[in-house]
Structure 1
Amino acid sequence: MNDEFEVLIETQSFRIIPSQTIEISDAIRYLGAKSNGEYAVIEREDPRAVILVDSDGSMIIHGISNLEAATLIAEETLLRMGMSEKGLTIARGEVLASFSVGRAVLIGLASERFSDAEHDIRLDALRINANRYGCTILLFSNGRGVVMGQSSRKVAEMAASFWISRLEEEGALA
């Protein structure tokens, strides 16, 4: 396997449940959020992120790949609305991870050799159902790939590494 292999976490979503529910009207009034009544959207610039305030009073922070940064964004958002930042419950959502094999992927050969892999004609990519790791991997013929549907960074890395090794063993990397 390529020694230069590295999985980069592009983004992850985080659900933030504060100790008291957030009112959509407060997000609009104090933070300039846009709303359709069901939820409010706040766009941040530094760091760049999108915050959704849900009708259940929780927040979803999207566009950040770091738990500490997401926590700070949530705390700042609550404080700007005059709410307490204490007692947050934070749940990690799915990551979007990218990587490069550094070699071409023989999509046709790989889809023939593995029952968990198929040629996704719509994307012209190899779609791998990495059930063992609870995620999906898309690999393009140029060797670039993404891992989707996994909430753990480490498991996403393990899935990509495992499948690259299998593809190499079967001669599906050129």
Structure 2
Amino acid sequence: MTSLSDFSATSIEGKDIDLSSYDGSVVLVVNTASKCGLTPQYQGLQELYDSYADRGFTILGFPCDQFAHQEPGTEDEIADFCQRNYGVSFPMFAKIDVNGKDTHPLFEWLKDEKRGLIGGAIKWNFTKFLLGRDGQVIDRYAPTTEPEKISDDIEKALG
């Protein structure tokens, strides 16, 4: 059975990260963007991270520029923006594609596991996937779902 630990991704600092390093954690995977109407969700995501990180929860942010060119910056610019404006301290990764022929393998798997309203495709920035400690997808949340609305599901997954 495929799980989060079967994938790797490049960190926003350019290091190859084996996602098995998150084994045993509850993980929220989010495709992000810095120039989106939903960008203020970074604040709510950071609040979730601050609230639950000590209980084995993390967020993995994956910048994506596939929706209305809302993530035009370099990795350094994205990292600086997230830190400066929202104090983001959860792991961020290099820009990826979440749809189309160059979709990152992690997102291919996530979309296969939990389809959205328009099938498997990611509809917009800030689509969220909650994964349990076993690395399996628990649920998928629409881009407009505010991070705090996921708290109960995170609590349940943390046990």
Establish whether TM, by shorter chain, passes 0.5.
no
Larger helix fraction of residues = 2
**Higher gyration radius (CA):** 1
Return the structure number with greater strand share: 1
Q: Relative contact order: is structure 1 or structure 2 higher (C-alpha 8 Å, sep ≥ 6)?
A: 2
With the length of structure 1 as denominator, give the TM-score of the two structures: 0.22
